[in-house]
Structures are given as structure tokens and as C-alpha cells.
Amino acid sequence: MTSPERFMNEIPEPEAIVALVQGLAQQAWPKSGAESGALFARMGWRRERQFPASRENGPADEFVLDTGVGSPPVFATSTETDGVLDSIYLQLRLGEALPDPEATDCFQAIITRLAEIYGEPTIPWHGQRGLRRMWNVNGMDIDVHFGNDSHSSLMIGFLDEQFFAEVEAYAREHS
């Protein structure tokens, strides 16, 4: 099975995803390019293949993460502002995948376990298309998003809380 087929067809193991979230949440958020590289090294992430920046709202690096032998690869996007990492998004199930009850079960298992570890989500995101939960842990926002309507996607974002608080304050001030 090719990597794109694996992205679309394999449903990740909830325990492995929760361990990945916990591993990253225990790290200090990087404040420089060198610290970002060190973070990826500590996580054991290797950027197997990197794609050119393609985000309309700013530069983004898209790459495939090898998370371990036998585990499905993870499609990831990281964004930087002034050379400093501000977000990492892990696309665990691509949006082109067909809806699957097992994907729903996976999402529920992930958010149930994260709630056991980190408490109830700080922002439940009710009323939004798809299901979304967010926690604030160790200076980062952890954003878990699941969609299983006409297509199925599962994504986890890690965002620098301080950076995004400054962006929101600026937007409020200038709106």
C-alpha cells in the first residue's frame, strides 16, 4: 500500500496517538529554529519527505513523519513566523478518506483518554461542523479535530499559546 493509500485507509491506534500527544505536550515549546530542530529530534521525528510551502496565509512546511517501524506515516504541517515555530498539525487521517465508524471510535477514544489526562477540554467547539476539542497544556493549545461526514479526517494541532494569544489580541485591537 502506498503512503497516500495508508493515509486514507489506515485508522491510527488511539493509544499510540495519545502517547504522541503526551510526548509533545511534555516538551517546552521551541523559541528558535535550533530549538525546533531539537524538539523534532527529541520526539524521534524524521522528516522523510518535505513538500514546498503551500499555505495561502503564510509559509508552511509540509512533510511526512516517520513515527516508528510498522506505524502508519503521519502527514504533518508546521508553520513558522520570523523563523520561530508557531504550530504543528498532524493529519492522522486525510480528508479524502471515506467515512468509517472505526474512525469515529478512534476519535472518541482519543478525546476520552485526553480528558482523563488533561481534564475537560477548555474549548469544546460545540455547534461546529465536525467534532473538535481543545486543551491548554504546558503553554500550548492541543486542538483535536474530527470530521466524518462525506469524508473522514482526523487532525491534531499543537499551537504556541503565547503566539496565538498575541495574534488574537492584535486582531481584536485592529478590528
Digit-coded pLDDT (tens) for 5-58: 555 557 778 888 898 899 999 999 998 888 988 988 888 776 655 555 554 545
The set of residues, in sequence order, having a beta carbon less than 8 Å from that of 130 and lying 6+ positions away, is 145, 146, 147, 148, 149, 153
Predicted confidence at residue 142, as pLDDT, reads: 94
Instruction: Provide the whole-model pTM.
Output: 0.79
- The larger pLDDT score, comparing residue 84 to residue 158, is at 158
pLDDT in tens, 60-75: 677 776 655 566 667 7
Domain definitions of the chain by residue range = 3-173
